[in-house]
Amino acid sequence: MKYLTEYRDPELGRALIRRIRERVSRPRVLMEVCGGQTYTLIRQGIDELLAPAVELIHGPGCPVCVTPVRQIDRAVALAMDHRVILASFGDMLRVPGSEGSLLEARARGGDVRVVYSPLDAVELARRHPEREVVFFAVGFETTAPANAMAVWRARELGVGNFSVLVSHVTVPPAMRAILEAEGSRVEGFLAAGHVCTVMGLEEYFPLADEFRVPIVVTGFEPVDLLEGIFMLVDQLETGRWEVENQYARAVRREGNRPAREILARVFRVVDREWRGVGTIPGSGLGLRDEFREMDAEERFPIRQLGAGESPECRAGEVLQGRLRPTECEAFGSRCTPETPLGAPMVSSEGACAAYYRSGRRKEPS
């Protein structure tokens, strides 16, 4: 397929790996932020091919993984409300909450529907005027414009039985939190290409300056990732900390202006809890006051639920790049994609699932 196949060329990949190895004067520690990038790096064994010249640490960019257990519990509670159709992206369904997953809620009689686009959830509401459709709006900046458009459209079309359970997160505050954490080893970031198609590069300049850390906006195919890694390594070896754009075919410096405009009209910046990590200031998006009547948390007051996490799950450490999935006691034994203890083993963008599905097994202790 055009724009895919050429970026999967093994010859190019090998040449880049050679270049990266030649370029490093000592082992370098880099973090890829996005779970989609983690998936490709692990699936193709790029991390193993680059060791020990480059160590890749996996970042928190898995929207499904960082959605707080409390929000999953709210979604489950809403799904069990007989008035409600709970619409969600497919990969949220198996994420464990403290009282089961959405899939289990469906098995218990809850009306849970999978949608491809947030606009499908608005359509669902129009087709079922007698029901309340709640869309579970999760995701990073990549997804936020789509979800914002659903909210915007529902109001424009006067769809009164549509609301959203919002759990949006944003990348730069999480990168800041990682850099500020004690003992942070990250020397450079591969920034998430699709987040930047929307937001552009500007937010990253202050981070690069303040922490003297190079940031390269990178695509998702193997050749993209390797070129991004080479660009980071080259910056480190020449003592630079710039924001560079490897993914220039899709990312403009200013991002996507119409998308950013709707984001600013529908959402405002809020503090947000990240599952396993804690609350990161200014790291989320919530509905602006003008859209409050479409906030499912306002429309359906839900009793405060206990946020029960599996005591054994170490997802928080995995999401912050402090623990490799295979270093976790439960990995591959008590925790598998079929019986997950935590979200990173569920989502296709979760580091634990990427390791497990690529045949990685526990490291001997």
Partner 1 sequence: MTVCLGIPGMVTEIKEGEGLLMGTVDFGGVRREVCLAYVADEVRPGDYVIVHVGFAISRLDREEAERTLRLLQELELDGDRNSELGAQGNRGWEKERDGSGGEAP
Q: Which of residues 159-218 bind partner 1 (CB under 8 A)?
A: 192-194, 197-198
Q: Which residues contact 218 (CB under 8 A, 6 or more apart)?
A: 32, 37, 190, 191, 192, 193, 224, 225, 227, 228, 246, 247
Contact residue for partner 1 among 53, 75, 112, 138 (CB under 8 A): 138
Q: Which residues within the stretch 215-234 sit at the binding site for partner 1 (CB under 8 A)?
A: 220, 222-223, 227
Separation of alpha carbons 128 and 143, rounded Å: 25
Residue 13 interacting with partner 1 (CB under 8 A): yes
The phi, psi pair for 19, rounded to 5°, reads: -60, -40
Does position 113 interact with partner 1 (CB under 8 A)? The reply is no
- Write down the least CB distance from residue 327 to partner 1, Å: 22
Of 137, 107, 100, the C-alpha closest to 284 is 137
Residue 158 within binding range of partner 1, rule CB under 8 A: no
According to DSSP, the residues that pair with 158 across neighbouring strands are: none
Respond yes or no on whether the N-terminal peptide bond of residue 222 is cis (omega within 30° of 0).
no
> Pairing relation of β-strands 162-169 and 132-139?
parallel
Closest distance between partner 1 and the C-beta of residue 339, in Å?
Answer: 21
* Separation between Cα atoms, residue 350 and residue 58, nearest integer Å: 9
Measure the CA–CA gap between 144 and 262, rounded to whole angstroms. Answer: 9
116 forms part of the interface with partner 1 (CB under 8 A): yes
The piece of 113-121, 127-135, 158-166, 173-181 that touches partner 1 (CB under 8 A) is 113-121
Q: Which listed residue (47, 91, 203, 297) binds partner 1 by CB under 8 A?
A: 91
Location of structure tokens 């942070």 = 184
Ranges within 299-358 binding partner 1 (CB under 8 A): 347-349
Q: From the CB of 185, what's the least distance to partner 1, in Å?
A: 24
| β-sheet bridge partners, residue 287 | 267
* Least Cβ distance, residue 92 to partner 1 (angstroms): 8
Return the number of the residue (141 or 295) whose C-beta is nearest partner 1. 141
Indicate the residue among 140 and 211 with the shorter CB distance to partner 1: 140
Binding to partner 1, residues 258-297 (CB under 8 A) = 258-259
Q: Which of 113, 128, 131, 153 binds partner 1 (CB under 8 A)?
A: 153
The angle formed by the CA atoms of residues 81, 82 and 84, to the nearest 5 degrees, is 70
Q: What distances in angstroms separate CA 357 from CA 22, 51, 332, 336, one per listed residue?
A: 31, 20, 10, 9
Is 2 or 303 the residue whose CB approaches partner 1 more closely?
A: 2
Nearer to partner 1, 36 or 96 (CB): 36
Token pair of 56, please?
């890749």
Find the shortest distance in angstroms from Cβ 235 to partner 1. Answer: 17
Binds partner 1 (CB under 8 A): choice among 4, 25, 364, 365: 4
Residue with Cβ nearer partner 1 (311 or 359): 359
120 lies in the binding site for partner 1 (CB under 8 A): yes
| Rounded least distance, CB 212 to partner 1, Å | 27
Helix axes 204-211, 171-180, angle to 10 degrees: 10
Total binding residues toward partner 1, as defined by CB under 8 A: 72
Part in contact with partner 1 (CB under 8 A); list of ranges 34-42, 180-188, 277-285, 337-345: 34-42
What's the per-residue H, E or C state across 22-89? HHCCCCEEEEEEEHHHHHHHHHCCHHHHHCCCEEEEEEEECHHHHCCHHHHHHHHHHHCCCCEEEEEC
Stretch binding partner 1 (CB under 8 A), from 137-145, 267-275, 315-323, 325-333:
137-145
